[in-house]
Structure formats: C-alpha cells, structure tokens
Amino acid sequence: DAKTTQPNSMESNEEEPVHLPCNHSTISGTDYIHWYRQLPSQGPEYVIHGLTSNVNNRMASLAIAEDRKSSTLILHRATLRDAAVYYCILYMNSGGYQKVTFGIGTKLQVIP
C-alpha cells in the first residue's frame, strides 16, 4: 500500500505562509493526493486534492512534484484558526473499492 510521510509537528507565525510537506514515494499513477485537517474534537475536513497539476482553492494551494513523489500544502497566510492536524493521504484502489487510510499527520501550531 502506498504510504505518506509527514513531519509530526510544525510551527508558524500568524500572518505568515506555511508550507506543509508530504512524501509519498510509492505513489501509483492513479492515486489522488488529498489533504484534510482536523480541529480539536472534530472530524477531519477536506482541504484540497490533486493528481498531477498544482491546485488552488479558497483554503489553500497544493503543489505536486513533477515525479509525484512529494507534495506541499501551502497556507498563504496562517491564522490562529488554521491550528490543526493536517493529513496528507492517498486514495488507494483496493479490489475495486477505495480504501482511505490516514497517517498521524502534522500538528500545526500557529503563534500569534
């Protein structure tokens, strides 16, 4: 199964950009890269996803390496509300279904 590797924790100052890295060196050609974030005592919420090209939405940007073995979630201006655990995950085909498994994620601390 393709796995992802993220740093356990990161810090950022408020109002500054944040780059959250993710390694997925065993990704297959059909695996989508998704990012979610989880606030305390809540379920994860979807942030962004991509396959090959860089993606932007109102929440964040996703930069995908050309060989697809790594990606970076970019928060352009961190706010205190962005403090959360960020998960980088791959959607893996499993017998026709799609398993969606989460790692430990990166705990982002935003410093005022």
List contacts with another protein (CB under 8 A). 30, 32, 34, 36, 41-46, 49, 51, 87, 91, 94-105
Q: State the nearest-atom distance from the C-beta of 77 to another protein, in Å.
A: 23
Please count the other Cβ atoms lying within 10 Å of the Cβ belonging to residue 95. Answer: 6
Distance CA 29, CA 50 (A): 12
Q: State the nearest-atom distance from the C-beta of 65 to another protein, in Å.
A: 19
51 vs 80, which CB is nearer to another protein?
51
Distance CA 111, CA 11 (A): 7
13 vs 94, which CB is nearer to another protein?
94
53 vs 112, which CB is nearer to another protein?
53
Please count the other Cβ atoms lying within 10 Å of the Cβ belonging to residue 19. Answer: 12
Distance CA 86, CA 108 (A): 7
